[in-house]
Amino acid sequence: MNNALALVGAPAPNSLLYYAVSVVLVILVLAGLNMLSRVQTAVRGNLLGALAMALAIVATLWNFGILSAVELYAAMLVGSLFGVIIWRKTQMIRMPQTVALLNGLGGMASMLAGALALTGHADNNAFAQFTAGLAIAVGGATFFGSLIAAGKLHQILDQHPKVLPAHSVWVGLSLLVSLGAALAYVFPPFSSPGGAQTVLLIVQIVAANLFGYLLAVRVGGADMPITISLLNSLSGVAGAIAGLAISDLLLVAIGAIVGASGLLLTQIMCRAMNRHLMEILLGNTSVSTAAATPTETESEKPDDSACAGETDTSETTRGDRPTLAAPVADPENTFADWVENAQRVILVPGYGMALSQAQAQVKRLLDYLEKSGKTVDFAIHPVAGRMPGHMNVLLAEVDVDYEKLREMKDINDDFASADLTVVIGANDVMNPAANTAEGTPIYGMPVLNVGDCAHVAIFNFDLKPGYAGVENPLYARAETEPERVLIFPGDAKETLAARLDALGAPPAIELF
């Protein structure tokens, strides 16, 4: 066990052969990431990345001379069994919180590596001391921030943004203490193992985790996918810093790749959502500064050009929400007429589709429309769901052709020329109030221009506001313009299946 602990904080041999092996493994990881960007090669890219990481573990054990440390193999076996359980038990609907949890575990590993690097070696130089402290700061923030994000997504915690008294003061104080401790480790009496260092280490761990909590607790609505992407980036950054502390250049390289790719994705999503990352971190986009609801003018003449988020249809709140009857006398036949006469159809999935697990019925609708000679595409909002690419994953699960999944910027102008748009469990991502409801979490964010379509059929659980808590004026149009907007309230899987049964569509192949 002593040999295993020597890994943390001790200078690595880093032989020329190890450098060469590290270069090859880094290239394999980069190749795997590149393959993940294309559906046709994504599975092979994932396997290549997994293989590269397995070889990286072996190379690290060999480089540090601890291949014979039995304790490490026992720990890896336990971790592997845990991974297998997650793989077998986790449904796609639970993938966002699973990703957040795994980000947190990565942060915790870096935090522990930094702590052991500090307490296990009295002969560390100033650089090793400082980087170990930084690994604790970033790893701790990633760990607890990811736990809060996972709790929100799993509905253990309140999903809506929460602001504590003097929230910004506590954020600044916790960050100052966490980073200040990293610098203090360079100077006596904190530079060597002992009572003073131990006390400071405990204070830093508490401050780092508190910062992660304060960072994540005030994020909600459409900003959650961006937050998960950022936490993923931070887990890689923490790993890279831990690699600097223990002089493992392979860990530095792999961590940097994860950190850079996560940060790039975060920036891409921020641009797509017309957000600034600092505004999200400060909670300025998640918390409404004023209660704003669409006016009568807004309801009659929506301007669909901004937004994000999905219908909040958690199992804990569904039973208390009233559902409203569709406003036309014969909505079933009206919908059937729309489907029969439409030539160009756009399908808009949202988080409600994930909650009701309606993707098989959506595939059934797609097949029926295409067999009837219709042209069909999916409109995918950048933050539809609770993590980047959430809708893409769910639709790929039922073998929807990836070429049909079109991003918002590519399809938004097509709504005006489409004959029919079918919304399945989406709300905030198509809410035109994002252009007008100032002071709300969705104000100024791009939305799908669903309201421009000739006919819109909405399959949502109810007519309550979405995750962002902003009334959707499209719902009012179902009463004022029933010839253009139809609403089928209820569980999307059941209501869509009922309409498809009435149309005579072949049964779906259920996944669950």
Q: What is the DSSP string of 459-488?
A: E-S-SS--TT----HHHHHHHH-TTTEEE-
**From 18-22, 91-95, 299-303, the region with the lowest mean pLDDT:** 299-303
Mean pLDDT of 432-437: 79
Task: Inform me whether the pLDDT recorded for 313 exceeds 80.
Answer: no
Task: Inform me whether the pLDDT recorded for 72 exceeds 90.
Answer: no
What integer pLDDT is reported at residue 252 of this predicted model? 94
Residues 78 and 158 in one domain: no
**From 46-55, 76-85, 243-252, 264-273, the region with the lowest mean pLDDT:** 264-273
**From 240-244, 443-447, 456-460, the region with the lowest mean pLDDT:** 443-447
Mean pLDDT of 346-359: 90
Residues 36 and 104 in one domain: no
Residues 265 and 338 in one domain: no
The answer to whether 35 touches 42, Cβ cutoff 8 Å, is yes
Q: Give 310's pLDDT tier (boundaries 50, 70, 90).
A: very low
Residue 104 is assigned to a structural domain of this protein:
yes
Last residue of a domain, one of 63, 89, 115: 89
Q: Give 324's pLDDT tier (boundaries 50, 70, 90).
A: very low
Chain center to CA of 120: 36
Residues 82 and 94 in one domain: no
Residue 213 is assigned to a structural domain of this protein:
yes
pLDDT in tens, 93-109: 778 888 889 999 999 99
Q: Give 446's pLDDT tier (boundaries 50, 70, 90).
A: confident
Average pLDDT score, the chain? 82
Last residue of a domain, one of 89, 108, 140: 89
In the chain, DSSP finds a helix count (H) and a strand count (E) of 20, 6
The answer to whether 117 touches 248, Cβ cutoff 8 Å, is no
Q: What is the pTM of this model?
A: 0.76
Residue 116 is assigned to a structural domain of this protein:
yes
Residue 313 is assigned to a structural domain of this protein:
no
Residue 287 is assigned to a structural domain of this protein:
no
Residues 95 and 65 in one domain: no
**Pick the residue with more confidence: 468 or 185?**
185
Mean pLDDT of 320-346: 71
Q: Give which of 116, 2, 127 is closest to 64, Cα–Cα.
A: 2
Active site annotation includes 248? no
**Pick the residue with more confidence: 294 or 210?**
210
**From 34-48, 57-71, 278-292, 477-491, the region with the lowest mean pLDDT:** 278-292
Per cent of the chain over pLDDT 70 is: 85
**Pick the residue with more confidence: 298 or 55?**
55
**From 156-170, 206-220, 493-507, the region with the lowest mean pLDDT:** 156-170
Residues 107 and 83 in one domain: no
Among residues 223, 312, 428, 462, which one is catalytic?
A: 428
**What is the H or E stretch that residue 117 is in?**
helix 95-119
Residues 344 and 474 in one domain: yes
Residues 6+ apart with CB under 8 A from 62: 18
Give the range of the structural domain holding residue 66, as residue numbers without chain letter.
14-89
In whole angstroms, give the CA distance from residue 292 to residue 470.
7
In whole angstroms, give the CA distance from residue 276 to residue 280.
7
Residue 304 is assigned to a structural domain of this protein:
no
Residue 33 is assigned to a structural domain of this protein:
yes
Residues 74 and 216 in one domain: no
Mean pLDDT of 398-414: 90
Q: Give 323's pLDDT tier (boundaries 50, 70, 90).
A: very low
Q: Give 237's pLDDT tier (boundaries 50, 70, 90).
A: very high
Q: Give which of 484, 135, 464 is closest to 331, Cα–Cα.
A: 484
Residue 323 is assigned to a structural domain of this protein:
no
Residues 85 and 182 in one domain: no
Task: Inform me whether the pLDDT recorded for 325 exceeds 90.
Answer: no
Q: Give 298's pLDDT tier (boundaries 50, 70, 90).
A: very low
Q: What is the CATH number of the domain that holds 399?
A: 3.40.50.1220
Number of domains the chain is built from: 3
Residues 62 and 100 in one domain: no
Q: Give 462's pLDDT tier (boundaries 50, 70, 90).
A: confident
Task: Inform me whether the pLDDT recorded for 4 exceeds 70.
Answer: no
Cis peptide before 189 (omega within 30 of 0): yes
What integer pLDDT is reported at residue 374 of this predicted model? 94
Residues 44 and 174 in one domain: no
Residues 83 and 164 in one domain: no
Q: Can you give the three-state secondary structure of 168-212, one letter per residue?
A: HHHHHHHHHHHHHHHHHCCCCCCCCCCHHHHHHHHHHHHHHHHHH
In whole angstroms, give the CA distance from residue 240 to residue 234.
10
Last residue of a domain, one of 66, 89, 112: 89
Q: Give 10's pLDDT tier (boundaries 50, 70, 90).
A: very low
**From 161-165, 313-317, 333-337, 443-447, the region with the lowest mean pLDDT:** 313-317
In whole angstroms, give the CA distance from residue 326 to residue 478.
8
pLDDT in tens, 126-153: 899 999 999 999 999 999 999 999 998 8
